[in-house]
Amino acid sequence: MSTESLQSAARTQKSILRRGFGLLGIAIRTEPRVFAAAVAGSAVYGVMTVGSAWAVGWATDHAVLPAFRDGKAPVGATLGAGVLILGVALAKVLGIIGRRLLAGVMQFRLQARYRRSVSERYLQLPLSWHRRHPTGQLLSNAGSDVDMAWQFIAPLPMSLGVLIMMVAALVSMLLTDPVLAIVGFLLFPAIIVLNTVYQRFAAPRLAAAQEQRAGVAEIAHESFDGGLVVKTLGREDVETERFATAADRLRDANIAAGRARAFFDPALEAVPNLGVLVALLIGTSRVASGAVEPGQVVQIAYLITLLAFPLRAIGWVLGELPRAVVGYERVKAVLDARGDMEFGADVAPATTGEDGTGTGTPAAASSAATVELDHVGFGYDGQDILRDVSLTLRPGATIALVGPTGAGKSTLTSLLARLSDPTSGTVRLNGHDLRDFARGEVPAQVALVPQQTFLFQDSIRDNIRLDRDADDERIWAALRLAQAERFVKRLPEGLDTVIGERGATLSGGQRQRLALARALIREPRLLILDDCTASVDPQVEAAILGGLREAAGEGTLASTVLVVAYRKATIALADEVVYLEHGRIVDQGTHLDLVERCTGYRDLITAYERDHDERAHDERAHDERTAGDLPEPRDGELQEAGR
Amino acid sequence: MSTATLDPKPAPAGYQLPEATDGGYAVLRRGLRLAPEFTKGLGVTVLLATISTLGRLVVPLTVQQTLDRGILAKGGPDYGVVRTMVAVSAVAVLITAVSAYLMNVRLYTSSERGLASVRTKAFRHVHDLSLLHQQAEQRGALVSRVTSDIDTVTVFIQQGGMMLFIAAAQVLVVTIVMAVYSWQLTLLVWACFVPMFLIMRRIQARTGRAYRKVRRRYGQMLGEVSEALVGADVLRAYGIEDRAGRRIGQAVDSTRDSQLRTQRLIVITFSMGELVAGLATAGIVVLGVLLGVDGQLTAGELAAMLFLVTLFISPVQFGTEMLNEAQNAIAGWRRIVGLLEAPPDVVDPGAAAGVAPPAGPLGVGFEDVVFAYPGGATVLPSLTTEIRPRTRVAVVGETGSGKTTFAKLLTRLMDPSAGRIVINGVPLKDVDFETLRSRMVMVPQDGFLFDMTVGDNVRYGRPGATDDEVRRAFDDLGLADWLDGLPDGLATRVGQRGESLSAGERQLVALARAYIADPDLLVLDEATSAVDPATEVRITRALDGLTRGRTSIAIAHRLSTAEAADEVFVFDAGQIVERGPHRELVTAGGVYSRLHESWARQQRS
């Protein structure tokens, strides 16, 4: 080990104890009453453990020894000893029940509380933060890291309770014989030295092990997530290899940490045993000099054996501390993560959808949003995705956003829904900067149907209404508009059908239509469709868009619509087309204008047509060729090229 | 307001991953048999355990001997005897500690090795299960099967199993030693403990059930958390963080409540032990005095009995603790064993027994193929069709008409409920997976990418492919421009699930990944649905040439793909209602001509 890493190890070690006690403080402050009661239970237990030694000693002196000396059992004393021992045991049991039950309450409550806070952070932290942290790792933070952080609580009241017991035991040792008591006192520094040695070895190894544990979860999550790709390419072996490497690293880290623990536990047991032997040695001379009775030596020896277990309990807590600190630090990293979106106080005026009837009013059209993008730029990792985008969407207008793959269309839609904030410029909705809206106000007005459908493992009903209190009638209306009514009706359990997280039994198009219904039921002021009908059949798409237009005409849906699209039919429904290329708006206008003056747009939008024409042309040529019975060399050549 | 509670968590029908349901200890035994590492070198470990157990007797024996022969020796305390005995005893204590250390190290090593191996096996098994099985469980819950469920076994295996053995051995040895001192007192001790053992058995069964609930709820909780993580975009877009928070909160709380319930049961067992211990100690004092007066017991022997009874109690206490821990382990094991024993419903015949269809282009035959989800709707009522080698087929039809099911059956991601599928005359079921996956590749619509570079993702299709080969794959597909536009070219990292790229870009990489795998049969399930038309046409044209000479099946909504195909299959309600070349179908006045007309109208309007 280099000097540097030794120094850093020493630093961590010192701070581990300090941080460990810090954790203790947090635990006590969080659950002060439960903690106090648990410690009280433990104190009863501790006092009664000493009491049982004292009772045995009392029995030895007053019943056992007189009986052997006199050859006659002192009836009262003997029965008294029995009752005494039994009574002490009863009190001890009550102490145990209090201590263990409440220690559990404390541990599990703390774990639950931290799991909630961690997931609360997950729900608040920006998507950019999520992108940087593998899901498997975050899962591990909420799972095993939280577990570890508070596992030391279980033996904690016990070891604090035994502090009282220590004092009681030591006092009773002192009262029995001050000289022999020294042996008892010496146990404590011995345990502390032992623990220091242990912490030094264990802490860095445990930290490493927990990191590997997260690594295992990370790979498992990614691999199960991509299960379909693994299967279709037959890469199970490769994946297993990848996972096995991580599992083996975890194994090695655990074994390394285990070695430290393997030493600690037997040593913890040996120390009190050696103490008893020393007490015997000294006790012999004390008896010889007449300073103590033999019964008192037995009592001290017994006290030391009884102390062995509680001493180990303290050792366990101290032994768990490095693990706890490691787990807590990992949890803390999530709790302390910064970069939350800031929210203002602006509130949108009530929309028609909020009256709960959902039928809308003739004035509904006026509630469609005006959207402005003012010199908006967006980028990350030094890469510009959007540059200087300025655009106004008039209320009630339908705008088609067109552009080649990777032009920044989805990024633009995510800025409009405030999934991210622009790196420069401003996005305004009805004149308000999106950042000035209070939490929840943007989602209340804007609905984005993303390209990639995500459904919850829940019923269709709950997947569509989400947190809204919508009755079935409204749900069916939304499904109708999204052209999903028919297939949902055919499902044996209708709206109650539970769909899996990945909805294996629904087709991609069906899932997309559910996602669309989810947006429609919210009657948004701005509806963003990010190429969300890609896997929906053309006629269905036409029906959906026709329905939207109709609803707008009838005033039941008053939305400004931004639709990312390639299909001409979709574009034809738009009042205006915005053509985006390399993160910039290249042109903007009606479809016909753009076809006329914008080459990029024309090439993109007429690609199928040209392809169709070219094919027809090829086909004619092909027909002519085959008609002339010409050989066809193309086949073999291209096959070569393909290999 | 949603009043749905989380217990039981709704789950899609069929295909739930099982838990082993038979007796706890049978599960435990089967679990240990999952990896030979668990029991390897167990003999030596048991020997060490025996030494360290016997070592615990040293101190009480020394106390007795020192008291009777040293301190209470006739004519005053005898230093010599005491010193010798203490010295011998000290050495014995050290030997005990060393063998305990060695035993621990061996246990940690063998158990961690075994756990790593079980973990890997379980992981592999998840991949071996069919898609339907995999997708029936939330990802987080699946992850918990290979992480926390296995971890629950750790404590038991590392300390518990041996501790139980030691405890049993110690109880036995202590009983013998006690019997040597006084059989009457020994009988008394046993009389106190036997009823407790009987009651404990009953409580144990309840503890086992309680722990099972904990494991299940813990898995659900991780499932909820992972759902919130994977669906973070949707949660933000709809501002339903509170709803997700509530659901997670509920799952967290119900996990906590189930943990507290097990805690109560454990406390009952433990405190019962303590009470019985007090009873036994009191009994020993009273009976011991009576026996001593009778001359059947010396003072030292009685003192030794009092020590011995603590040595009897502590293993009983630890033993019950470990039996509880065993219940916890069993609960975790049930999920592991259940997973590992779930027969993969799509079975790989294996390289040895498998048949490889002759090299060259593949033809496919569907013979009376039926597919229905278990307890769900029938997707394909009965399908018989044939695809000749080297044909390029386009599959069209409405959403939900069975196109994707057709593709999944064809690539054996699922097996038909009835009927069979053959490739080049060989039943698909008889083809070993390695051959199958190397010869037919499906590109799913969702271009899932791994969190690595673009180059490595493509290489996933053919490990060992050089950068030049990868680049050429993009070239061949007409995507060189796109690749050049990436900030770091092939070394560009794609982020989790490829989310640093757009959906269309992910599809481009997924396509290159399948293309470089060089299969004889390529299935594209709307593989370019998110790509812009110009790029799609470019790809289609490139593929057009590249797939010539192989069989390809493309599912598409954009009928431009169908125009380029040799043959078009039109699906409707799980049946092929029309098939033939585009030219013929488009004028036939059937379903296809209607579909095409509507498509063309949309393109030209």
Q: Which of A100, A138, A271, A277 to mutate to test the interface with B (most CBs of B within 10 A)?
A: A277
Phi, psi of A403 (to 5 degrees): 175, 160
The pLDDT assigned to A628 comes to: 54
CB atoms < 10 A from the CB of B29, how many? Answer: 12
Task: Select the more confidently predicted residue: A192 or B394.
Answer: B394
Place A361 in a pLDDT band, splitting at 50, 70 and 90.
very low
> B23-39: per-residue pLDDT in tens?
777 888 888 888 888 88
Contact A122, B274 (CB under 8 A): no
Say which DSSP state A504 is in. T
> A367-410: per-residue pLDDT in tens?
888 999 999 999 877 788 899 999 999 998 889 999 998 899 99
Residue A524: closest CA among chain B residues belongs to which residue?
A: B238
| Contact assignment for B97 to A267 by CB distance below 8 Å | yes
The pLDDT assigned to A396 comes to: 86
Residues on chain B touching A414 (C-beta within 8 angstroms):
233
Count CA atoms within 13 Å of residue A22 on its CB side: 13
| Contact assignment for A270 to B96 by CB distance below 8 Å | yes
Residues on chain A touching B226 (C-beta within 8 angstroms):
135, 139, 221
CB atoms < 10 A from the CB of A321, how many? Answer: 24
Q: Is the pLDDT of residue B262 over 90?
A: yes
Q: pTM (2 decimals)?
A: 0.83
CB atoms < 10 A from the CB of A486, how many? Answer: 12
Cα separation, B283 vs B178, in Å, equals: 14
Q: At what angle do helices B139-146 and B299-341 cross, to 10 degrees?
A: 140
Token couple for A573: 């429904």
CB atoms < 10 A from the CB of A642, how many? Answer: 17
The pLDDT assigned to A633 comes to: 43
Minimal CA separation from A6 to chain B, in Å = 25
In this predicted structure, which of A374-388, B112-126, B160-174, B326-340 has the lowest mean pLDDT?
Answer: B160-174
Cα separation, B542 vs B561, in Å, equals: 12
Question: Would you call A284 an interface residue with chain B, using a CB distance cutoff of 8 Å?
Answer: yes
Which among A48-52, A488-492, B453-457, B535-539 has the top mean pLDDT? B453-457
| Contact assignment for A419 to B100 by CB distance below 8 Å | no
Minimal CA separation from A366 to chain B, in Å = 22
Mean pLDDT of A8-15: 53
Q: Is the pLDDT of residue B3 over 80?
A: no
Residues on chain B touching A274 (C-beta within 8 angstroms):
90, 93
The pLDDT assigned to A7 comes to: 46
Contact A481, A548 (CB under 8 A): yes
Question: Would you call A438 an interface residue with chain B, using a CB distance cutoff of 8 Å?
Answer: no
Which residues share a beta bridge with A585? A580
3-state secondary structure of A577: strand
Pick from A63, A255, A610: CB nearest B108: A255
Residues ≥6 apart with Cβ < 8 Å to B33? none
Place A3 in a pLDDT band, splitting at 50, 70 and 90.
very low
Place A352 in a pLDDT band, splitting at 50, 70 and 90.
very low
Task: Select the more confidently predicted residue: B15 or A98.
Answer: A98
Task: Select the more confidently predicted residue: B457 or A45.
Answer: B457
Contact B455, B473 (CB under 8 A): no
Residue B555: closest CA among chain A residues belongs to which residue?
A: A535
| Contact assignment for A89 to B279 by CB distance below 8 Å | yes
Contact A31, A106 (CB under 8 A): yes
> B199-224: per-residue pLDDT in tens?
988 898 899 999 999 988 998 899 89
Which residues share a beta bridge with B579? B569
Please state the separation of Cα A367 from the chain's center in Å: 38
How far is residue A295 from each of residues A79, A85, A284, A301, measured CA to CA in Å?
19, 17, 12, 10
The pLDDT assigned to B579 comes to: 92
Q: Is the pLDDT of residue A576 over 90?
A: yes
Q: Is the pLDDT of residue A635 over 50?
A: no
Place A492 in a pLDDT band, splitting at 50, 70 and 90.
confident
The pLDDT assigned to A193 comes to: 86
Residues on chain B touching A334 (C-beta within 8 angstroms):
none
Cα separation, A558 vs A551, in Å, equals: 8
Cα separation, A484 vs A499, in Å, equals: 14
Average pLDDT of chain B is 86
Place A558 in a pLDDT band, splitting at 50, 70 and 90.
confident
Residue B560: closest CA among chain A residues belongs to which residue?
A: A608
Residue A226: closest CA among chain B residues belongs to which residue?
A: B448
Average pLDDT of chain A is 83
Q: What is the dihedral of CA B145, B151, B156, B158, to 10 degrees?
A: 140
Q: At what angle do helices A607-627 and B533-546 cross, to 10 degrees?
A: 30
| Contact assignment for A298 to B275 by CB distance below 8 Å | no
Place A504 in a pLDDT band, splitting at 50, 70 and 90.
low
CB atoms < 10 A from the CB of A381, how many? Answer: 9
Phi, psi of B379 (to 5 degrees): -95, -50
CB-neighbour burial class of residue B22 (10 A; exposed 0-12, middle 13-18, buried 19+): exposed
Q: Can you count the helices (H) and strands (E) in chain A? A: 24, 12
How far is residue A339 from each of residues A349, A412, A425, A567, measured CA to CA in Å?
29, 20, 19, 38
Contact B256, B263 (CB under 8 A): no
Mean pLDDT of A309-327: 79
Pick from A116, A233, A247: CB nearest B437: A233
Q: Is the pLDDT of residue A301 over 50?
A: yes
| Contact assignment for B93 to A273 by CB distance below 8 Å | yes
DSSP A367-403: GSPPEEEEEEEEEETTEEEEEEEEEEE-TT-EEEEE-
Residues ≥6 apart with Cβ < 8 Å to A473? none
Question: What's the 3-state SS for A142-171?
Answer: HHHHHHHHHHCCCCHHHHHHHHHHHHHHHH
CB atoms < 10 A from the CB of A485, how many? Answer: 17
Residue A63: closest CA among chain B residues belongs to which residue?
A: B289
Residues on chain A touching B503 (C-beta within 8 angstroms):
410, 451-452, 531
Q: Which of A130, A229, A445 to mutate to test the interface with B (most CBs of B within 10 A)?
A: A229
Question: Among B4, B134, B564, B204, which Cα is nearest to A224's?
Answer: B134
The pLDDT assigned to A502 comes to: 58
What percent of chain B has pLDDT above 70? 96
Mean pLDDT of A418-434: 93
Token couple for B557: 């909504």
Number of A to B CB contacts under 8 A, please give it. 591
| Contact assignment for B460 to A229 by CB distance below 8 Å | yes
Task: Select the more confidently predicted residue: A10 or B137.
Answer: B137
Place B71 in a pLDDT band, splitting at 50, 70 and 90.
confident
Please state the separation of Cα B140 from the chain's center in Å: 10
Residues on chain A touching B270 (C-beta within 8 angstroms):
96, 100
Phi, psi of B3 (to 5 degrees): -105, 5
Q: Which of B537, B551, B584 to mutate to test the interface with A (most CBs of A within 10 A)?
A: B537
Pick from A409, A465, A572: CB nearest B605: A572
Which among A171-180, A510-519, B315-324 has the top mean pLDDT? A510-519
Cα separation, A603 vs A221, in Å, equals: 41
Task: Select the more confidently predicted residue: B590 or A643.
Answer: B590
Residues on chain B touching A459 (C-beta within 8 angstroms):
4, 10
What percent of chain A has pLDDT above 70? 89
Cα separation, A19 vs A28, in Å, equals: 14
Pick from A97, A127, A274: CB nearest B232: A127
Task: Select the more confidently predicted residue: A306 or A327.
Answer: A327
> A46-74: per-residue pLDDT in tens?
788 778 878 887 887 888 778 878 878 78
The pLDDT assigned to A538 comes to: 67
Cα separation, B330 vs B183, in Å, equals: 38
Question: Would you call A178 an interface residue with chain B, using a CB distance cutoff of 8 Å?
Answer: no
The pLDDT assigned to A309 comes to: 67
Q: Is the pLDDT of residue A634 over 60?
A: no
Q: At what angle do helices B139-146 and A178-225 cross, to 10 degrees?
A: 130
Task: Select the more confidently predicted residue: B67 or A215.
Answer: A215
| Contact assignment for A240 to B11 by CB distance below 8 Å | no
Task: Select the more confidently predicted residue: A334 or B69.
Answer: A334
> A191-228: per-residue pLDDT in tens?
878 888 887 888 888 888 988 988 999 999 999 988 88
Cα separation, A282 vs A284, in Å, equals: 5
Cα separation, A632 vs A635, in Å, equals: 7
Cα separation, B154 vs B141, in Å, equals: 19
Minimal CA separation from B271 to chain A, in Å = 5
Residues on chain B touching A297 (C-beta within 8 angstroms):
67, 71
Chain A from 328 to 367: CB within 8 A of any B CB: none
DSSP B132-201: HHHHHS-HHHHHHHHTHHHHHHHHIIIIIHHHHHHHHHHHHHHHHHHHHH-HHHHHHHHHHHHHHHHHHH
> B471-529: per-residue pLDDT in tens?
999 999 989 989 998 889 999 999 888 888 888 899 999 999 999 988 999 999 888 88
Question: Among A365, A403, A397, A448, which Cα is nearest to A574's?
Answer: A397
Pick from B146, B292, B583: CB nearest A64: B292
| Contact assignment for B271 to A226 by CB distance below 8 Å | no
The pLDDT assigned to B187 comes to: 92
Contact A612, B560 (CB under 8 A): yes
Is the alpha carbon torsion for B225, B229, B230, B236 positive or negative?
positive
Residues ≥6 apart with Cβ < 8 Å to B313? B273, B277, B280
Residues on chain B touching A100 (C-beta within 8 angstroms):
263, 266-267, 270-271
Mean pLDDT of A86-92: 90
Question: Would you call A555 an interface residue with chain B, using a CB distance cutoff of 8 Å?
Answer: no
Q: Can you count the helices (H) and strands (E) in chain B? A: 23, 10
The pLDDT assigned to A640 comes to: 39
Q: Is the pLDDT of residue B466 over 70?
A: yes
